[in-house]
Amino acid sequence: MENKTFTISVYSENNVGLLNRISGIFLKRHINILSLNVSESEIETVSRFIIVVDTTEKWVQNIVGQIEKQIEVIKAFYHVDEETIFLENALFKIESSLLFDERQIQNIIKESNSEIVTVARDFFVISKSGKRSEIEELYSKLKPYGIMQFVRSGRISISKEKMEISALLEELKQN
Amino acid sequence: METNKISGAEAVIRCLLAEGVDLVYGYPGGAIMPVYDELYKFKDELHHVLVRHEQGATHAAQGFARATGKVGVAIATSGPGATNLVTGIADAQIDSTPMVCITGQVGKHLLGSDAFQETDIIGISTPVTKWNYQITEASEIPEIMAKAFYIARSGRPGPVLVDITKNAQFDLLDFSYEKCTAIRSYVAVPKLKLKKVEEAAAIINNAKKPLIVFGQGIILGKAEELFKAFVEKTGIPAAWTILGLSALPTDHPLNVGMLGMHGNYAPNIMTNECDVLIALGMRFDDRVTGNLETYAKQAKVIHFDIDPAEIDKNVKTEVAVLGDVKESLEAILPLIANKSHDDWHTKFKELYKIECEKVINEELAPTNGKGISMGETIEMINKHSKGDAIMVSDVGQHQMFTCRYSKFNQSKSNVTSGGLGTMGFALPAAIGAKMGMPDREVVAIIGDGGFQMTIQELGTIFQTKVPVKIVVLNNEFLGMVRQWQELFFDRRYASTEMTNPNFTAIAEGYYIKAKKVTKREDLDAAVAEMLASKESYFLEVMVEKENNVFPMIPTGASVSDIRLS
pLDDT in tens, B84-117: 999 999 999 999 999 999 999 999 999 999 999 9
Question: In this predicted structure, which of B95-99, B262-266, B366-370, B378-382 has the lowest mean pLDDT?
Answer: B366-370
Active-site choice (B435, B480, B530, B552): B480
Q: Taking Cα atoms as reference points, which of B147, B110, B154 lies closest to residue B132?
A: B147
Cβ distance of B309 and A175 shorter than 8 Å? no
Looking at residue B523, what is its pLDDT? Answer: 98
Residue A12, strand partner residues: A47, A73
User: pLDDT band for position A175 (50/70/90)?
Assistant: low
Looking at residue B78, what is its pLDDT? Answer: 98
| Residues in A 37-76 with any Cβ partner in B closer than 8 A | 61-62, 65-66, 68-69, 71-74
- Calculate how close chain A gets to B128, using CA atoms only, in Å: 10
| Residues in B 96-135 with any Cβ partner in A closer than 8 A | 122-123, 126-127, 130-134
Residue B140, strand partner residues: none
The stretch B211-227 carries a mean pLDDT of 98
- Calculate how close chain B gets to A175, using CA atoms only, in Å: 10
Q: With pLDDT > 90 as the criterion, what percentage of chain B qualifies?
A: 99
pTM of the model: 0.96
On the question of pLDDT at A109 being above 60, the answer is yes
DSSP letters for B269-300: HHHTT-SEEEEES----HHHHB-GGGSSTTSE
Domains of chain B: 5-174 (3.40.50.970), 194-348 (3.40.50.1220), 371-542 (3.40.50.970)
Looking at residue A99, what is its pLDDT? Answer: 78
User: pLDDT band for position B465 (50/70/90)?
Assistant: very high
b/e sequence B473-488, b meaning 16+ C-beta within 10 Å:
bbbbbbbbbbbbbeee
Cα separation of B28 and B26, whole Å? 7
On the question of pLDDT at B2 being above 50, the answer is no
Domains of chain A: 4-84+159-174 (3.30.70.260), 85-152 (3.30.70.1150)
Residue A20, strand partner residues: none
- Our CA angle for B147, B152, B157, nearest 5°, is 145
Contact B426, B393 (CB under 8 A): yes
User: pLDDT band for position A101 (50/70/90)?
Assistant: confident
CA end-to-end span of chain B, whole Å? 77
The stretch B147-157 carries a mean pLDDT of 98
Question: Exposure of A48 by Cβ count < 10 A (0-12 exposed, 13-18 middle, 19+ buried)?
Answer: buried
b/e sequence B507-520, b meaning 16+ C-beta within 10 Å:
beebebebbbbeeb
Q: What is the mean pLDDT of chain B?
A: 97
Cα separation of B182 and B173, whole Å? 24
User: pLDDT band for position B1 (50/70/90)?
Assistant: very low
User: pLDDT band for position A173 (50/70/90)?
Assistant: low
Q: Taking Cα atoms as reference points, which of B25, B81, B31 lies closest to residue B58?
A: B25
User: pLDDT band for position A163 (50/70/90)?
Assistant: confident
- Calculate how close chain A gets to B213, using CA atoms only, in Å: 22
Cβ distance of A69 and B307 shorter than 8 Å? yes
Looking at residue B3, what is its pLDDT? Answer: 55
Looking at residue A44, what is its pLDDT? Answer: 84
Q: With pLDDT > 90 as the criterion, what percentage of chain A qualifies?
A: 79
Q: Give yes or no for A1 touching B (CB within 8 A).
A: no
On the question of pLDDT at B440 being above 70, the answer is yes
**From B185, B307, B309, residue closest to A12, measured CB to CB:** B185
On the question of pLDDT at A172 being above 90, the answer is no
The stretch A136-149 carries a mean pLDDT of 95
Contact A151, A142 (CB under 8 A): no
Cβ distance of B309 and A17 shorter than 8 Å? no
The per-residue pLDDT for range B110-119, each reduced to its tens digit, is 999 999 999 9
B550 noted as active-site residue: no
Active-site choice (B54, B224, B441, B457): B54
Q: Which residue has the higher pLDDT, A99 or B388?
A: B388
B54 noted as active-site residue: yes
Contact A80, A31 (CB under 8 A): no
Looking at residue A124, what is its pLDDT? Answer: 94
The stretch B508-522 carries a mean pLDDT of 98
B480 noted as active-site residue: yes
Q: Taking Cα atoms as reference points, which of B152, B73, B57, B165 lies closest to residue B119?
A: B165
Looking at residue A144, what is its pLDDT? Answer: 92
- Calculate how close chain B gets to A152, using CA atoms only, in Å: 28
Contact B168, B136 (CB under 8 A): yes
The reply to whether ipTM tops 0.90 is yes
